[in-house]
Amino acid sequence: MKKEKQFVVIGLGRFGTSVARSLHRSGYQVLAVDINAERVQKFSDEVTHVVQADTTDEASLEALGIRNFDVAVVAIGDDIQANVLTTLLLKEMGVRYIVAKARNFLHGKMLKKIGADRVVHPEYDMGQRVAHNLVSTNVFDYIELSPNLGLVEISAPHALVGQTLVGADLRAKYAINIVAIKRGEQILVPPSPTEKITAGDVLIVVGQNDGIQRLEELE
Ligand code: ADP
């Protein structure tokens, strides 16, 4: 059965197609829109509906019944003007949740100001993830929560193996919190303070970036 929430993805570049495809595979209704007929044609078998339209044109958006969608993803990349105009129109038409892709921070700021609920910087975010992964091979993933706060998924450093969470005292030492421990199939969330860290554990940690970095540098 199809899930309830309805998504519209605008702009079928690399980012947009990836978002649309993933949502569709997860069982959601997805309308994909692009101004380019060739891209529309290419993507036609992949999601629920694909339509050719210029989303900077209010009448075209109206015709698509855009206001009925729960979530809109504005994935127009290079054309900042089209990206901003589309976001503005979607907002005015009352789309409940708008995610917009920004090319740079100023663009991101503008998108927030005109009402995007969430702004994503895919290249910047991926760059950070890769950098964290290069600093320490123990790091599986890093997500920025704010400019100086992050969430990291890290293989338990040897230095911590055998210690309890209270004993390791990471909160006092590095101002970070272990919010969950992945152990094989098991996920301990929240982990008990008396839980001992074992070899092979994966720690999910939230904290200031400098604390996270010091954890990443532990052997
Ligand atoms: P990426 O960097 O994710 O690959 P691109 O900039 O290559 O993104 O792709 C953006 C897509 O947005 C293109 O397929 C382009 O045709 C589409 N697009 C650009 N302007 C509009 C518009 N006004 N209306 C709808 N789609 C648009």
With contact defined as beta carbons under 8 Å apart, do 97 and 113 qualify?
A: no
* pLDDT tens per residue, range 133-188: 887 778 888 888 888 899 999 999 999 999 999 999 999 999 999 999 999 999 99
Q: Is residue 1 part of a domain?
A: no
Number of domains in the chain: 2
- By residue range, what is the domain housing residue 40? 6-120
Q: Specify the DSSP element, H or E, that contains 111.
A: helix 105-113
- Examine the fold and report which residue of 120, 141, 171 is the final residue of a domain before the chain moves on: 120
- Examine the fold and report which residue of 120, 148, 165 is the final residue of a domain before the chain moves on: 120
The total of other beta-carbon atoms located within 10 Å of residue 140's CB is 15
> Among residues 157, 131, 152, which one has the least CA distance to residue 140?
152
Residues contacting ligand 1 via CB (< 6 Å): 10-16, 33-36, 39, 54-56, 75-79, 82
Instruction: For residue 113, give Cα distances in angstroms to 8, 92, 118.
Output: 21, 13, 11
Examine the domain organization and report whether 21 and 95 are in the same domain.
yes
Plot region of 98 (φ>0 → left; ψ -120 to 50 → alpha; else → beta) = beta
Q: What is the pTM of this model?
A: 0.78
* pLDDT tens per residue, range 198-217: 999 999 999 999 999 999 88
- Residue with the smallest CA separation from ligand 1 atom 17 is 11
ipTM: 0.94
- Specify the CATH number for the domain of residue 191: 3.30.70.1450
- Examine the fold and report which residue of 120, 152, 176 is the final residue of a domain before the chain moves on: 120
3-class state of residue 70 by DSSP: coil
The total of other beta-carbon atoms located within 10 Å of residue 22's CB is 11
Examine the domain organization and report whether 73 and 145 are in the same domain.
no
* Mutation probe of ligand 1 site: the residue of 79, 83, 86 with most atoms within 8 A of C-beta: 79
How remote is the CA of residue 11 from the centroid of ligand 1, in Å? 4
Assigned token pair, 81: 């003007």
